Amino acid sequence: MKQDKRDRRSQRTRHLITTAMLELVFEQHYETITVQDILDRAGIGRSTFYTHFFDKEDVLSSIAEQMLEMFRQQLSQRKEGGTIVPVLEMFEHVQQHEQYFRAMSRGHTGEVFWEAAQIALSKTIEQALSTVYAENASPAISWAVIAQYLTGSLLTLLKWWLKAEMPYSPEQMEKIFQQLALPGVWATVGAENTSP
């Protein structure tokens, strides 16, 4: 019983800290935010902060991971037989949370956020590729490299789309990605016009 209370308190405190950080990121550049700013906004003490996080980068990584987890949950609810690379879902997700992604794309915040996204998404894609194309146990290029390529291409396109004020619909961006990135992957894995 005591453990449950502590867990709830811990979750509440982490939520206060991440919410404070998000609010601050919307208001000012990440580089100017101090741990003291986070403490003041969250209404907590320094020792409480350091019980839960190492520094402000740790808070930022936690926020990025929360957003990516939300996206992973959306992906897990997809219909069977969906694409390996969740292109449409990614563009729709960014569109739905545009303000968040704009704030998280500024300065050093963006570097930390997009790096966390690269790591998480490439793992997901690599697992999906090796499962779907299991009979092709050793493609000419490793699954890890293919996953990094697809993830990097997708995230670069997403960043451009966001910066360019979303000039195309998510559906159009999915088609653009498929035309640009997938032909080489299909040739590498020996698949004929499938949709990774």
Q: Does 80 share its domain with 102?
A: yes
Residue 142 in any domain: the answer is: yes
Residue 189 · residue 136 · CB < 8 Å: yes
Identify the weakest region by mean pLDDT among 30-34, 105-109, 116-120.
105-109
Q: Which helix (H) or strand (E) holds 184?
A: helix 170-189
Identify the domain containing residue 89 by its residue range: 62-189
* 14 vs 4, residue with greater confidence: 14
Q: Does 153 share its domain with 96?
A: yes
Q: Does 93 share its domain with 179?
A: yes
Instruction: Indicate the pLDDT class of residue 50, thresholds 50, 70 and 90.
Output: very high
Token pair for 70? 């939300």
- Residue 24's CATH number: 1.10.10
Confidence check: pLDDT of 2 > 60:
no
Quote the pTM value.
0.76
Q: Does 166 share its domain with 90?
A: yes
Of the candidates 41, 24, 42, 45, which has an alpha carbon nearest to the alpha carbon of residue 33?
A: 24
- The whole-angstrom separation of Cα 106 and Cα 187 is 37
- The whole-angstrom separation of Cα 24 and Cα 36 is 12
Q: CB under 8 Å to 170, separation ≥6 — which residues?
A: 88, 91, 92, 95
Q: Does 95 share its domain with 174?
A: yes
Q: Does 105 share its domain with 34?
A: no
Q: How far is CA 62 from the centre of its chain?
A: 11
Q: Does 110 share its domain with 185?
A: yes
Give the total number of structural domains in the chain: 2
| Integer CA distances (angstroms), 157 to 15, 20, 52, 117, 153, in order | 31, 30, 34, 13, 6
Q: Does 86 share its domain with 109?
A: yes
- The whole-angstrom separation of Cα 162 and Cα 147 is 22
Mark which of 32, 53, 74 sits at the end of a domain: 53
Of the candidates 110, 92, 115, which has an alpha carbon nearest to the alpha carbon of residue 163?
A: 110
Mean pLDDT of 33-42: 97
Name the residue type at position 12: R
Mark which of 10, 27, 53 sits at the end of a domain: 53
- The whole-angstrom separation of Cα 57 and Cα 74 is 26
Residue 194 in any domain: the answer is: no
Mark which of 16, 35, 53 sits at the end of a domain: 53
* Structure confidence by residue, pLDDT tens digits, 54-97: 999 899 888 888 877 777 776 666 655 567 788 998 899 899 98
Classify residue 80 by burial, with Cβ atoms within 10 Å: 0-12, 13-18, 19+.
exposed
Q: Does 36 share its domain with 83?
A: no
Mean pLDDT of 26-41: 92
Q: Does 30 share its domain with 81?
A: no
Please report the pLDDT score of residue 196 as a whole number: 52
Residue 83 · residue 186 · CB < 8 Å: no
Residue 196 in any domain: the answer is: no
Please report the pLDDT score of residue 34 as a whole number: 96
